[in-house]
Amino acid sequence: MFSVLFPGQGSQIVGMAKEFYDNFSYVKDFFDQADDILKKKLSKIILEGPKEDLDLTENTQPSIFLTSYSIFKVIENETSFNIRNAKFFAGHSLGEYSALCCAESINFEQTIELLKYRGIAMQNAVPIGGGGMVAVLGVQIDVLNEIMKNNKDKFKCYIANDNSTGQIVVSGKSEFLDLFCSELKNKNHKYVKLPVSSPFHCPLMSKAAIEMKEKINKIEFKDPKVDIISNVTANLINRSEEIKKLLIDQIEKPVRWRESIINMINLNIDHFIEIGPGKVLSGLVKRIDRNVKLNQVNTLSDIKSLLND
């Protein structure tokens, strides 16, 4: 049995989906629709850059969705591979919106609208430079929780992404992250400061969560046609009202990606197909379990490989 995975922020590259844009008129239509909804030339930013514009959160989020959705539709429309036979769809952070749209819980226009607001709300929740994120490498989550507990009077940081065995992302205010990193250095733990300007997936996003609650509650969701694995619970969800609540919670809650993958494997998933730019999620899955089969699909040749496997 297989599951489909959709990437989140950080997977974007200038020129992603160009092959699909050039070869399929309906993909170009998707890009044109997105430009109209957003009232900006997002298509130009995706296809030509500059990278600085693509990396702005308010552009990145709809761009990655648009790329993932376009590739999904090409697989669905142009091949004999029944992608909807997946046991589960799952997406990392904003990738959950891609999963929901491809599972027909929300439509294309609604998804672009929601990600437009989500990107702006998350970017503006904390002043630029006021917070950030740090990836900690080779350290178990329990060890990090202990460090934060023992230093709670010095700094307040939060687990934002439990990505894989040995990769945890921590969010916090900039001054607290500096103290946290000093503590990691003292303990010889490896870390990398991420090139983001906001502390995502933690209580510092409360303002964004309030704004998104208003937007999400105005949209009518349907029960998805494929079960979704939630970032918040790491378990399957298939009821529209539950999905809405968890999408709101997701903004302030950590992404439980490692647990999500383990839970899917425990439910007999032995094949993961990553649809969208990059190979980040496949790399994370490989760290969690080297025995599962993996396909990444972000080019036409990748689709041929999927069909030939």
Hey, which residues are catalytic here? 93, 201
Q: How far apart, in whole angstroms, are the C-alpha atoms of residue 132 and residue 34?
A: 29
